[in-house]
Amino acid sequence: MYIEEVDQALVEIKDSHTNNRIKSLLTQSLVILICGQFEQKIKHILTDRCKSVSDVTIKNFVNDHIHKSALRSLRVSELSGLLGRFHPSYKEKFNQKIKENGQVKTTYESILTNRNSVAHGASITATFDEIRMYYEKAHMILDYFEQSLIMSN
């Protein structure tokens, strides 16, 4: 699941003719953007899944919960646990997809680790090209999440 806003930022940063310091700052902003967009996509997937609920008050409650507190973290283990709260088979399907492509978890969590470094005032060690490569693989976690939740109906 590619994200248009992230894809556009990748192109603009790659094509910018800035010094290394500016590119590093842009890369730090990029990891924050990626994580924010990942969170929004996950919330959107969850909200879409809950559209089948016909009781409006329950639907409102679930949507409110999704947007306020369903995601404590974007870590793979948290996403897996969230799927398990829907049904154990959702969690199993998600974990199986990740097991089949173990590198995707590593690249996904590398983005999260770099984002946490930026958020806590540390500099990141990853370069723009590395973050771009991580994103190219990591967005597949969103696909696995959606497939496990949506296609398990």
Q: Provide the token pair at 78.
A: 């948290």
Q: Provide the token pair at 97.
A: 């997809």
Q: How confident is the prediction for the chain on average, in pLDDT?
A: 90
> Can you tell me whether residue 18 is helix, strand or coil?
coil
Indicate the pLDDT class of residue 26, thresholds 50, 70 and 90: very high
Beta-carbon contacts of residue 116 (< 8 Å; ≥ 6 apart): none
Q: What is the pLDDT of residue 16?
A: 84
Check pLDDT > 90 for residue 132: yes
Per-residue pLDDT tens digits for 39-80: 999 999 998 888 888 888 988 888 788 877 767 789 999 999
Q: What is the pLDDT of residue 151?
A: 63
Nearest to 35 by CA among 13, 65, 3, 8: 3
Check pLDDT > 60 for residue 111: yes
Check pLDDT > 80 for residue 38: yes
- pTM here is 0.88
Per-residue pLDDT tens digits for 79-90: 999 999 889 999
Q: Write out 61-128 in H/E/C secondary structure.
A: HHHHHHHHCCCCCCCHHHHHHHHHHHCHHHHHHHHHHHHHCHHHHHHHHHHHHHHHHHHCCCCCCCCH
Per-residue pLDDT tens digits for 143-152: 999 999 986 5
